[in-house]
Chain A
Amino acid sequence: MKVGAVVSGLVATLAMGGAVIAFSTSASPYVTIEQAKRSTGDRLHLAGLIDQKSIRNDVFTRTLRFNLKDESGQSIPVVHRGEMPTNLSEAKNVVAVGGVKDGVFESSQLIVKCPSKYEADKNANGASGQAK
């Protein structure tokens, strides 16, 4: 039983240690625009308010452009290439996943959070969409 306990302990430590290391090194950080500009990562998560007026969707080249404002009030142009979210027109908050190149945030994934239909600030669950 003693050997068993040692092996179990070892496995548990390795498993937890491995997971913590993997998460610490590879989890995708949420960033502000300021941090995004300084980072070289390409899976940065930039959350912000979408400027509905700035949305340009070129369906032929499948390129979506818009401006995103983060919590600090800073704004950055975003170019999204990839799958189009289905419900962008009703979105306020989006998370763009990607990295900054030449002052533009190049996004490969857009996670759209929809304000629910009826309760602007007290919304129901479920009404949401995700572009994967």
Chain B
Amino acid sequence: MSRIGVFICHCGENISATVDCEKVAKVSGFLPGVAFSVDYKYMCSDPGQNLIKDAIKEHKLTGVVVAACSPRMHEPTFRRATAEAGVNPFLCEMANLREHCSWVHEKGDATTNKAIDIVRSLVAKVKRNQALYPIKVPVTKTALVIGGGVAGIQAALDIANTGHKVIMVEKEPSIGGHMSQLSETFPTLDCSQCILTPRMVEVAQHQNITLFTYAEVESLEGFIGNFKVKIRKKAKSIDEKACTGCGMCTTKCPQKKIKSEWEQGLGVRPAIYVPFPQAVPNKPVIDRINCTYYKTGKCKICEKVCPTKAIRFEQEDEVIEREVGAVVVATGYDIKRTDFFPEYGYDKHKDIIDGLQFERLASASGPTKGEIRRPSDGEIPKNIVFVACAGSRDVAKGIEYCSKICCMYTAKHAMLYKHKVHDGNAYVFYMDIRAAGKGYEEFTRRAIEEDGAKYIRGRVSKIYEKNGKLIVVGADTLMGAQQVEIEADMVVLATASIANKDSKDLAHKLHVSYDAHHFISEAHPKLKPVETNTAGIFLAGACQAPKDIPESVAQASGAAVKVACLFSNDELTREPIIAVVNRLAPPAYSTCTGCFLCEKVCPYQAITREEIKNREGNVIRNLAVVNPGLCQGCGTCVALCKSKSIDLQGYSNDQVYAEVAAVLDTI
């Protein structure tokens, strides 16, 4: 005979405001099999947990139902308390009275009755629960870092410095990410390349880091501690071992006018190229779309001039497989381009550029060698307008969030411009100046007060070209929304930060969730900011939300610590919520008929075949067996098993039917 204890939590007023908790406790006490029931204000608190522990001992309870919040919140808490009182933790279940009842209904009898129904159904289930024991799995102590920007670099170096192996995958020919494109960085104005390139080199030279550039993650299977990753190494068309990076090929390539991605289209590169002089690795790749040889079948000049015969035109993509124990996603962000803005001319005007393009213009290594010259005619603009929040915080544009970095980099841009063009005018249209960060407010004040950037609070409705000038039409909301018109020579739009275009695909490959804007979701916005909902996969940098460099680096170090924690164990314990094929005494062995439909549908390849032999050693039966290390407990095999031979531990058909039947009884 079961002796179940039911514990009703008020959750402060979260539940008790709409549910009559005392009544629920009282009614629950009369349910068959319930030996004890009580309500309490905060069941998750220390006294609340003690209440449960004491009741278990005093009333010799054989099962526990805690009717409180979502199991995602406190199931581990209550299972731990149950275990401490000497009862198997899997004999404790949670009835979700908060998210499933009190938060979504009005106060009243119907709500209280629903709460009672939920409790009754969980009581019916817990009576059929069985003691389960955690599964132990080994850990592969190698981390995969996806993305070689500043966040990926930081995470990789931190993990590698704890003595663990790291595999870094970067889709571009060089690591460095967007930070390598920046001129100076706020709020100190130190040169971006100067602080980043030493770290890039460190990655390449670190004995614990294996670097794959021009490569992408093809698929990821497995689970925490035991992932298998397939990496597509795109054909670089060179032999990396033979290539010395001498640069002969890139100087002799006849294709010289291809728009450089790294220069944001403001500079050019050849078809065989390294994206920038400080690239890591400093070895070229052939852009097959623009290469004369791949287009016409003739040329091969690079092959002729290469002193080490390193060119490989016939090279193909290679897919390699590696085992890793943890993954750090650091794939970064992108920005909206100027063609997104009809009111600013859909990219019609050459001298309306985005923030990254301005970074290239201001950079000493950029196409103008750091002189601010406008793209159309190379003139130095005397009047320059910066438009903050271009696309951000704009529901009509579908981007309601703040891109976070633009206030600061726009102040920096205005400052850099004023440092280089002393007699020029820099205007900044802004909504609010969001400069919350160490030294940030001081920085924007400096742009306004010391460098004389003219800040205008208001939005720009329209930019059009007239007699070679860009007419910027806006409002000054501090002057009674007066219309402002500025004749500008150049306009810089601080366009919205957005998720990378392949962010969603990657999330699907990694089985992690993403938000409406395709940024990858963290497990909890406050308490689990670097974890994803998939155990063993962590986040670093702007792939999660727009972030500046300090924040990306901090998060990357956080993710690295999480990986290091994981790798400090030799084996992991997993919840035993897995499928099991029943076994019976010979001669039946099992009700499994050996159809192996389960093998076909299992998404985790967790089903294997076991041969049953007789005394003579002849195979008499083939049975399905679930590998507990691989099974994720999805239940697909249970649904498809024709002979009902597979069941999910903790959620067996018997338990779930009992749960449903208990609810249906009252209707």
Mutual binders A and B: no
Q: Which residues of B contact A (CB under 8 A)?
A: none
